[in-house]
Structure 1
Amino acid sequence: MEEEKETLKSRKVITIGIVSELTGLSVRRIRYYEERKLIFPERTKQGSRKFSFSDVEALMDIANKIEDGVQTHEIRREMARRERGLTDREVRDQMLKGQLRAHFGETRS
């Protein structure tokens, strides 16, 4: 049952116009997020974009982060970290180590 829910949630069946209505984002803004490689809609043979409910959730999350001042490249970096399976704590630890190395002029060993 859970697997079926995830399949329905991830099916790319929603047009960009409907996504715009659901999210309150303009079609232009949605296309911009796609250009910035933050979302990855499928394309039909005719070239129309198709989104999933997971994509809609991701767009809302992206829009909230942008509103909070987060840059698109930072969002993309966070997405890559999540894909690699790093926890927030691990990411924070890596950032602190990098800052310490930069401050004290240490090189990686």
Structure 2
Amino acid sequence: MSPEDRRTMPLLPLSMVMQLTELTARQIRYYEEHNLIEPVRSEGNRRMFTLDDVDSLLEIRELLDEGINMAGIKKVFAMKSNCVTNSNIATISYAKFRSILRDEIQQVITVQKTSLRQGDLSG
């Protein structure tokens, strides 16, 4: 079994994912409703999560902590998905992608602070 197969194998119940991610069941269901994760349902209709799902939830939590709203998170996930599925785009590492995203967020924050300061000076 390849490492990728292991990452996509639904192994973890909701209770374990809650402990690993420090998210509530409601938060996890909310992200599922927004198609940010897609847990598999067991025969008893219980959600079973993959390691990739846990990584996505941790990334969502981190992006929220950085001040990005749900619309922004959806765009980030869409960009990631497009980078993976579009073979015409140069492949970059996940770490590089995160670095680029952090730089862009920092630029937006800096511009917002600058414009707020300029507004205070002109008033």
TM value normalised by structure 1: 0.71
Count, aligned residues:
88
Q: What's the CA shift for 1:34?
A: 0.9
Q: 1:42 and 1:73 mapped to 2: Cα distance?
A: 24
Q: Deviations over 1:20-52 (max 9, x none)?
A: 011111111111111122111111232111101
Cα distance, 1:58 vs structure 2: 0.9
Residue number in structure 1 paired with 2:3 = 5
User: Structure 1: how far apart are the matches of 2:43 and 2:25?
Assistant: 20
Moved over 6 A (4+): none
Give, in angstroms, the shift of residue 12 of structure 1: 1.0
SS of 1:47's equivalent in the other structure is coil
RMSD across aligned positions (CA)? 2.0
Match of 2:23 in 1: 25
More contact order relative to length (CA 8 Å, sep ≥ 6)? 1
Residue 84 of structure 1 is aligned with which of 72, 82, 85?
82
1:15 and 2:49 aligned:
no
Q: Which residue of 2 aligns with 1:43?
A: 41
Q: Which residue of 2 aligns with 1:97?
A: none
Gaps of 5+ in 1: 93-109
Q: 2:76 & 2:55 partners in 1: Cα distance?
A: 16
The corresponding residue for 2:118 is: none
CA distance in 1, matches of 2:22, 2:80: 26
Counterpart CA distance in 2 for 1:78 and 1:24 is 21
